[in-house]
Amino acid sequence: MLFPAPLVRGTLVRRYKRFLSDVTLDGGETITAHVANPGSMIGLAEPGSEVWLSPNTNPKAKLAWRWELIRVGGHLVGVNTAHPNRLIEEAVAAGAIRELAGYTVCRREVRYGVNSRIDLLLEDAVRPPCYVEIKCVNLRRGLAGRETAAEFPDAVTKRGAKHLVELGEMAAGGARAVMLYVVQRGDCDHFRIAGDIDPAYAAALAVAQARGVETLCYACDMRLDGIGVAGAMPLKL
């Protein structure tokens, strides 16, 4: 997935009201950028950090800039949670995700469950449909015993737990159901659930797995020109 225009560097002043950030561009102008991330962004909103913005080309957008990346400890980290769906769709089409290869049709945002939409629905005439829920991962806390772990979630997510229940229903009904975590940072070597942040989500995942939901995690190659799927990441659940 390539960014449609070159990113512009700046220095983070603050993130506030969840979806807003003030950034001083290298030229000295301070602007307000949209933050496409509803989470807590633990460790990713330190004032003074190097950040990278993309120009917003949507004529209906209220803000001219979107916050895309932040540099943490020498590594680029993606903060835009809207990207993984497109990224995984492209990777599936290219055969870059072995576990999801071989389907002839891939559709996004298909209605299912109770007032929900599945991120990707993979279909083929000779096998059951595959429901794929995708979550963006950018949390690394460096806690003892999990210093190099990527973790999810970074805040309580009732919506995420609801999706796990619905995936479990699909699996129990004979479909294939996959929970796919996409790590948008390059300084982690395995994935874990942050059960201390959201015990209900951790419990929901355990129930979903018992019902047949598969769990996958893939790392990303983070670059200033775009984001690519780098390969599978081990899970320690």
Domain ranges, ordered by start, for the chain: 8-78, 83-232
- pLDDT value, residue 60: 82
- pLDDT value, residue 59: 80
At 115, the pLDDT band (50, 70, 90 cuts) reads: confident
Query: Span 103-111, mean pLDDT?
Result: 95
pLDDT(58) > 90: no
pLDDT, tens digit, 9 for 90 and up, residues 125-179 = 999 999 999 999 999 999 999 999 999 999 999 999 999 999 999 999 999 999 9
**83-232 under CATH 3.40.50.620, yes or no:** no
pLDDT, tens digit, 9 for 90 and up, residues 3-57 = 999 999 999 999 999 999 999 999 999 999 999 999 999 999 999 999 999 998 8
- pLDDT value, residue 69: 98
pLDDT(61) > 90: no
- pLDDT value, residue 158: 96
pLDDT(71) > 90: yes
Q: What is the DSSP string of the chain?
A: -B-SS--EEEEEEEEETTTEEEEEETTS-EEEEE----S--TTS--TT-EEEEEE---TT-SSSEEEEEEEETTEEEE--TTHHHHHHHHHHHTT--GGGTT-SEEEEEEEETTTEEEEEEEEETTEEEEEEEEEEE-B---BTTBTTEEEE-SS--HHHHHHHHHHHHHHHTT-EEEEEEEE-BSS-SEEEE-TTT-HHHHHHHHHHHHTT-EEEEEEEEE-SSBEEEEEE--B--
- pLDDT value, residue 50: 98
pLDDT(186) > 90: yes
pLDDT(114) > 90: no
Q: Which CATH number fits domain 8-78: 3.20.20.70, 2.40.50.580, 3.10.580.10, 3.40.50.150?
A: 2.40.50.580
Query: Span 87-93, mean pLDDT?
Result: 96
pTM (two decimals) = 0.95
pLDDT(66) > 90: yes
Query: Span 53-74, mean pLDDT?
Result: 92
pLDDT, tens digit, 9 for 90 and up, residues 197-211 = 999 999 999 999 999
